[in-house]
């Protein structure tokens, strides 16, 4: 079977699409690291959220919330925000990279289809009839002459 060989174009766009996919994975990994770091920091109580107003600290104590529990909640929410941000960035970068690849592949397939259709039209075009080089063997006379 005949293969259609069409030269690939837009190598810089393909590189940008692949680079965006790499950025997608990097952002997801950074989001996971931020989540793990914030949860470990909150669990070991090495990250402290400062309560600036003394009234807020006394209000937390009357509600039965200790400073370490507030640290755990706030830093945990920060980690949740980090992982959600990482997931969103992953999806955005991956979608953009795939979109660039789809557009470049569509252009490539369109050029390949044009080449195939040109071959098909060339094969279906009838050959021209050869020119007549001699007079017919029998002369036909017109009636009335």
Q: Kindly tell me if the per-residue pLDDT of 86 is higher than 90.
A: yes
CB 87 within 8 A of CB 28: yes
| Average pLDDT value for residue range 36-65 | 71
CB 4 within 8 A of CB 81: no
Res 28 pLDDT > 60: yes
The pLDDT score that the predictor gives to residue 46 is: 64
Question: Which pTM was predicted?
Answer: 0.67
Tell me: pLDDT of 52 over 70.
no
**In 3-state terms, the chain is what percent helix, strand and coil (to 5)?**
70, 0, 30
Q: Are 50 and 79 in contact (CB under 8 A)?
A: no
Q: What is the pLDDT of residue 50?
A: 63
pLDDT band for 58, please (50, 70, 90 cuts).
confident
For residues 70-75, give the mean pLDDT.
75
**96-138: pLDDT as tens digits:** 999 999 999 999 999 989 888 888 888 887 878 877 777 666 7
Tracing tokens 């909150």 back to the chain, one arrives at: 42
Above 80 in pLDDT, residue 145?
no
Place of tokens 């706030």: 74
């Amino acid at each position: 079977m005949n293969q259609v060989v069409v030269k690939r174009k837009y190598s810089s766009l393909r590189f940008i699409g692949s680079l965006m996919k790499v950025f997608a994975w990097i952002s997801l990994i950074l989001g996971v690291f931020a989540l793990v770091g914030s949860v470990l920091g909150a669990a070991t109580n090495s990250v402290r959220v400062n309560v600036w107003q003394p009234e807020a600290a006394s209000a937390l104590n009357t509600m039965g919330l200790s400073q370490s529990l507030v640290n755990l909640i706030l830093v945990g929410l920060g980690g949740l925000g980090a992982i959600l941000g990482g997931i969103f960035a992953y999806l955005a970068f991956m979608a953009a990279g795939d979109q660039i690849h789809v557009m470049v592949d569509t252009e490539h397939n369109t050029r390949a289809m044009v080449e195939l259709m040109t071959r098909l039209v060339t094969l279906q075009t009838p050959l021209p009839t050869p020119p007549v080089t001699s007079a017919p063997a029998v002369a036909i006379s017109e009636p009335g002459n």
